[in-house]
């Protein structure tokens, strides 16, 4: 059994050379909201969900981005409502939120 059921990483990278970066799109606010929602649901910690910060995940053009493991599902999001849907449906419910999936052809 894995230590965590699911693990979500939020790119919080800030580029300084005018290239697109997740930090330009409120990625930290999304991370903070997700962490609070998972904790409020009592799903944080061993056997539950871990919410982590990450550096560049190299998918900047789709930012802000987050990735959920073990499924390896990549998401983009716009607001807290999107984060709520990812938490409720995927992190807790195990269902991929298809409308928020980042297309495979989106990279840096």
Task: Return the residue matching tokens 């990450």.
Answer: 54
User: Do residues 73 and 96 make contact, with C-beta atoms less than 8 angstroms apart?
Assistant: yes
Distance CA 58, CA 61 (A): 9
In this model, does residue 108 exceed pLDDT 80?
Answer: no
CATH code of domain 6-100: 3.40.30.10
pLDDT of residue 18: 79
11: number of Cβ within 10 Å: 26
Which comes out higher in pLDDT, residue 15 or 76?
76
- Model pTM? 0.94
pLDDT of residue 2: 87
In this model, does residue 21 exceed pLDDT 80?
Answer: yes
């Amino acid at each position: 059994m894995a230590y965590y059921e699911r693990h979500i990483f939020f790119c919080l990278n800030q580029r300084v050379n005018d290239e697109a970066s997740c930090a330009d799109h409120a990625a930290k606010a999304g991370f903070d909201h997700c962490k609070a929602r998972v904790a409020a649901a009592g799903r944080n910690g061993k056997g539950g969900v871990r919410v982590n910060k990450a550096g560049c995940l190299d998918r900047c053009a789709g930012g802000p981005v987050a990735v959920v493991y073990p499924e390896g599902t990549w998401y983009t999001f716009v607001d807290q409502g999107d984060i709520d849907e990812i938490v409720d449906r995927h992190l807790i419910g195990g269902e991929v939120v298809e409308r928020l999936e980042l297309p495979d052809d989106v990279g840096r």
